[in-house]
Amino acid sequence: MTSQASHVHIIGAGMAGLSAAVELTQKNYNISLYEAAPQAGGRCRSFYDSKLDCEIDNGNHLLLSGNQSAANYLKIIGAEDGLIGPDAAIFPFIDIRTSKRWDIKFNPSPIPFWLLDKSARVPGASLRQHLALAKMMRAQDHHVIADFIDTSNPLYERLMDPLSVAVINMPPDKASAKLMANVLKETILKGGIACQPRLAAHSLAKTFVDPALRYFDSQSADIKFGTRLKSITQKDARISALNFAKNTIELGDNDYVIMALPPEPTGDILDFITPPQDYSSIINAHFKLDKPIRVDWPAPLIGLIGAAAQWLFIRDNIASITISAGDIWLGERSDSLIKKLWTEIAPILGEDPIQVPPARIIKEKRATLAQTPALEALRPASQTPFKNLYLAGDWTDTALPATIEGAIRSGVIAANHVSMSLKAHA
């Protein structure tokens, strides 16, 4: 049997589904990609906002140069220039209560010379305190990040708290330390060359989604929007049919399925999946200024200490801020939240805190799973009881947090399982 003798059906065109489809298309497998919505991207999407009269992203997504799954994905679809950021691994911070500024700067090599430079590390924290974080690399399944750092340590407020909520979308006293350790192993521990900050140059859609759709078009891949999977038919430990709202597709003996849907619809279709009940929210605010924003920071972002939000991102004349692990703000009225957030960031931008520019609040109540040690242990593997079905999604067991990198990695994992299965039966 050759790859051309089989067909792979991918359900869901979010980042996990797109990643699986890209991986298999590159390997010359026949694929069909089904998406219930009229567009691809899932939560990694952009849209035109009439209030701001411009295109904005649903949320801010920071990547690092060490995110190899994302880098490989962008390379395949021809979008390597879709990310921007400084050539150095530098992260500016500001404490809005005191206006104190500092930069955390990682040297390029894996040997952490930056720790020897007081101007490159967290102010107020000693070398010994920085080095103590290495213990997190031995984190066990039950550990949270706060198990490895005292809350009175300046490292807690000035680095680990904003890093924890940005990466894990949970505060350090709840976030899985093992997940954080896995991220650090792939980025900071490989040196500055692997932890340079990267943002979408124009929008998430123009970087991650539109180039993928053009790639599929060039490869004559089959993509169907507005196609919702309702149920499956099983026979002899295999999926034998996909039952969509408008039609049913019978599967051949060599056909495979990759389910790349969020937890709830996956659980509705597959009775062996129990969707998690605990989630963590993210709130994003986009402010449109009447001129391009000029700042003296060495990166298109800055960490905020002592503010409701943790990070401020700059793109042209749009200032976007992110409140990760933002459950306490979900009940706040958007207009009052806009005023509060603008009051915090206006002085940083050199703007009048009283004159609030046009703004948009986007609340994602279920942005990610609550990535605690308890829920981390419940994430399902890509393999399933069905011989021809694999799961993908940032909520599956990738050993990474629910990020763009995690979603893309999950699609690659599922695609590799399909490829190995086909080769085993060739």
Kindly report the CA angle at 411 between 207 and 208, in degrees rounded to 5?
A: 5
Are 401 and 167 in contact, with CB atoms under 8 Å apart? yes
User: Given the DSSP bridges, would you call strands 54-57 and 46-49 parallel, antiparallel or unpaired?
Assistant: antiparallel
What pLDDT score does 426 carry? 67
| Two tokens, residue 97 | 């209560």
Strand partners, 232: 242
Are 319 and 289 in contact, with CB atoms under 8 Å apart? yes
**Average pLDDT per run of 10 along the chain, which is 426 residues long?**
70 98 96 97 92 92 95 97 94 96 96 95 94 94 95 93 94 96 96 95 95 96 96 96 96 96 96 92 96 92 96 95 95 96 96 96 94 95 97 97 97 97 82
What pLDDT score does 2 carry? 39
What are the residue ranges spanned by the domains of the chain?
Answer: 3-45+204-277+372-424, 89-195
Tell me, rounded to whole angstroms, the distance of Cα 40 from its chain centroid.
Answer: 16
| Two tokens, residue 276 | 């998690």
Residues 245 and 72: their CA atoms lie apart, in Å, by 34
Residues 63 and 67: their CA atoms lie apart, in Å, by 7
Residue 236 DSSP label:
T
What pLDDT score does 3 carry? 43
The phi-psi region of residue 390 (left if phi > 0; otherwise alpha if psi is between -120 and 50; otherwise beta) is beta
Strand partners, 283: 323, 363
Name residues whose C-beta falls within 8 Å of residue 187's C-beta, 6 or more positions apart in sequence.
64, 66, 67, 194, 195
Residues 314 and 353: their CA atoms lie apart, in Å, by 17
Which residue's entry shows tokens 């609040």?
361
Q: Which phi and psi angles does 206 have, rounded to 5°?
A: -70, -20
Residue 82 DSSP label:
G
What pLDDT score does 277 carry? 86
What DSSP assignment string belongs to 308-356?
Answer: SSSEEEEETTEEEEEEES-GGGTTS-HHHHHHHHHHHHHHHHT--SSSP
Alpha carbons within 13 A on the beta-carbon side of 76? 25
- Decide which of 1.10.3720.10, 3.50.50.60, 3.60.70.12, 3.30.930.10 is the CATH code for 3-45+204-277+372-424: 3.50.50.60
User: What SS3 state is found at 10?
Assistant: strand
Residues 360 and 362: their CA atoms lie apart, in Å, by 7
Q: Is 351 exposed, middle or buried, given 0-12, 13-18 or 19+ CB atoms closer than 10 A?
A: middle
Strand partners, 389: 257
Residues 40 and 18: their CA atoms lie apart, in Å, by 8
What pTM did the predictor assign? Answer: 0.95
What pLDDT score does 350 carry? 94
